[in-house]
Amino acid sequence: MTDQPDHARSFGSVADAYDRGRPGYPAEAVAWLVGEQPLTVLEIGAGTGKLTDALVAAGHDVHATDPDDEMLARLRLRLPDVRTSTAAAEELPVPDASYDVVIGAQCFHWFDHERALPEIARVLKPGGHLALVWNQRDERIPWVKKLGRIIGSQERGTDPTDEVDASGCFGPVEHELHKHWQVIDRDSIQDLVLSRSNVAVLDEEGRRAKLAEVLAFYDDYGRGMDGMQLPYVVSCFRAPVADRIVRTPVAEDGPPAAEPTPAVDDDVLLIDFR
């Protein structure tokens, strides 16, 4: 998309709304993405720390990076003990082969894949892997689909398999789905809308008009003080870093040898709140 750079840089201006309005990630999805045992994790596109929360809670040693320091400022307030770096996925300020997992949430579609994927492979230890995840509203449900038409659904169809496969830096991509709910009320639905990149780039009048449209929707479908449960499908992907070739020293009686070192749907409850 021609406007992708502008949209990608729009989140810092709405960091507070993003932090209040966006959903987190369920523990079972994080366990599948990263693993059950504590590991060293480099998070790319960490934003305000929605996924970082779950990674830290699972016991992982996390280094969070994001190109937008305004977003990271919110993460630092939330998780002051987590190491952070203002950096893009295309230029990671860490040594070679230094992390077990590189993970990104809601961000891979913003990257320059030809640069980012070799850079991610560079920083992964042998046997490490890349993990990617998106929260996607479950628009099979009619009222959720209507909300998506109002606020936008840019994350639809974010399957990284083709790009990851084409890079030659990783092994086969695995995919798994999880589900969870976000309780939203009349205030948090406004934050959810304001955190959208397509809304963040609007002028003040455009944002006011979009908020008015969303509040009219909420007043029609919501439950007042009780709010409403917004269902999400958590789309998870992981791929092992490609095997590295370790060149052994030259033997006295023969040429150098090169040896590959191996890298060590439930039914959805269809609820209409109307």
Tens-digit pLDDT profile for residues 137-148: 999 999 999 998
**Per-domain residue ranges of the chain:** 4-138+152-180+232-242
Determine the pLDDT at residue 157. 57
Helix/strand/coil (H/E/C) assignment for every residue in the chain = CCCHHHHHCCHHHHHHHHHHHCCCCCHHHHHHHHCCCCCEEEEECCCCCHHHHHHHHCCCEEEEEECCHHHHHHHHHHCCCCEEEECCCCCCCCCCCCEEEEEEECCHHHCCHHHHHHHHHHHEEEEEEEEEEEEEECCCCHHHHHHHHHHCCCCCCCCCHHHHHHHCCECCCEEEEEEEEEEECCCHHHHHHHCCHHHHCCCHHHHHHHHHHHHHHHHHHCCHHHCEEEEEEEEEEEEEECCEEEECCCCCCCCCCEEEECCCCCCCCCCCCC
Under the banding of pLDDT at 50, 70 and 90, the label for residue 156 is: low
* 181, pLDDT greater than 90: yes
Name the pTM for this structure.
0.80
Topology of the domain covering 4-138+152-180+232-242 = Rossmann fold (3.40.50)
* 54, pLDDT greater than 50: yes
Determine the pLDDT at residue 172. 97
- Which residues are CB-contacts of 39 (< 8 A; sequence separation ≥ 6)? 60, 61, 100, 101
Residues 90-123 pLDDT 10s: 999 999 999 999 999 999 988 999 999 999 999 9
Determine the pLDDT at residue 209. 87
Residues 196-250 pLDDT 10s: 777 767 778 888 888 898 899 998 886 666 678 999 999 999 999 998 633 234 3
Torsion angle, alpha carbons of 100, 102, 105, 109, to 10: -150
